[in-house]
């Protein structure tokens, strides 16, 4: 059984892969204070609820865009599962050619997305990841990452309005029925949802002008299904693309080890 862990700025997503399917997927808040106690307890409890023994896990692979958490999380995982953890980094990316200035700067979650898209779709594409940041990763069918674009994510934009203004409240992530807000909550929702619809389309079309109109748009991330008006714009919406990429990376590393022996 494979355990994959994706540490993001807002959430830590964990998945158990067994017999060619996701047996369990859990999403926890990213929490740095006393993280060893918190995540160890959460993992033990989740495994108990799922009726899974810790010893059933044979491999653990982790991606992280929160470097301050890495060392302590690795120690906790190694203690829980009694094995070394694969920490995804530039030196172990399989079959992905990074056409960028500094490979160490790109988020490992974005590379995992690219690995999954390469395996699952096998075509030129633009991966739109709706997370804490809204990212656009351009990938060729040969497995080259041509570049990345980054803007604040939907929740990040709403939080910025709430924290940086005196009178604007924090609002729920709900699609408004109209672009014409009749109150403050609706006004913010209208600006975010309709505004980001235009942003996503404009970014994808701008990228296509540079690389080719045939590049398909693929959506992923926790908020990938939030903007209903964009659903038909994407070739596919794959909320678990990052986790799939991590399992492909783990399998590639395992295959390489077998080839060496």
The predicted-structure confidence for 168-227, as pLDDT tens digits, reads as follows: 667 777 888 888 988 888 888 888 889 999 999 999 999 999 999 999 999 998 888 888
Residue 129 is a catalytic residue:
no
Residue 167 binned pLDDT confidence (cut-offs 50, 70, 90): low
pLDDT-derived band at 231 (thresholds 50, 70, 90) equals confident
Listed in sequence order, the residues at least 6 apart from 209 whose beta carbon sits closer than 8 Å to its beta carbon are none
Cα separations in angstroms, 109 against 26, 61, 172, 211: 17, 12, 26, 23
**Long-range CB contact pairs, 139-146, < 8 A, 24+:** 139/114, 142/97, 143/95, 143/96, 143/97, 143/114, 143/118, 144/96, 144/97, 144/98, 144/99, 145/96, 145/97, 145/98, 145/99, 145/100, 145/106, 145/110, 145/111, 145/114, 146/99, 146/211
Average pLDDT, the chain: 88
Q: Which of 68, 97, 101, 109 is catalytic?
A: 109
User: N- to C-terminal Cα distance for the chain?
Assistant: 22
Q: Give tens-digit pLDDT for 91-115.
A: 766 556 777 677 777 889 999 999 9
């Amino acid at each position: 059984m494979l355990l994959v862990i994706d540490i993001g700025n807002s959430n830590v997503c964990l998945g158990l892969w067994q017999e060619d399917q996701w047996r369990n997927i859990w999403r926890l808040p990213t929490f740095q204070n006393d993280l060893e106690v918190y995540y160890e307890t959460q993992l033990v409890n989740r495994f108990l609820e799922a009726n899974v023994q810790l010893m059933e896990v044979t491999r653990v692979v982790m991606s992280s865009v929160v470097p301050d958490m890495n060392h302590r999380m690795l120690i906790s995982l190694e203690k829980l599962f009694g094995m070394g953890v694969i920490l995804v980094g530039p030196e172990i990316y399989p079959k992905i050619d990074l056409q960028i200035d500094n490979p160490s700067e790109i988020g490992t979650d974005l590379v995992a997305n690219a690995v999954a898209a390469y395996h699952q779709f096998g075509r030129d594409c633009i991966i739109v990841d709706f997370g804490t940041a809204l990212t656009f990763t351009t990938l060729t069918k040969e497995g080259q990452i041509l570049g990345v674009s980054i803007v604040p994510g939907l929740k990040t934009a709403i939080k910025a309005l709430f924290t940086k203004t005196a009178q604007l409240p924090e609002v729920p992530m709900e699609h408004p029925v109209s672009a014409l807000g009749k109150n403050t909550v609706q006004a913010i929702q209208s600006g975010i949802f309709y505004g980001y619809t235009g942003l996503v389309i404009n970014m994808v079309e701008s990228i296509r002008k540079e690389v080719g109109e045939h590049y398909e748009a693929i959506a992923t991330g926790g908020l990938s299904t939030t903007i209903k008006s964009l659903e038909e714009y994407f070739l596919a919406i794959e909320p678990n693309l990052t986790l799939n990429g991590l399992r492909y990376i783990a399998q590639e590393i395992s295959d390489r080890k077998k080839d060496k022996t």
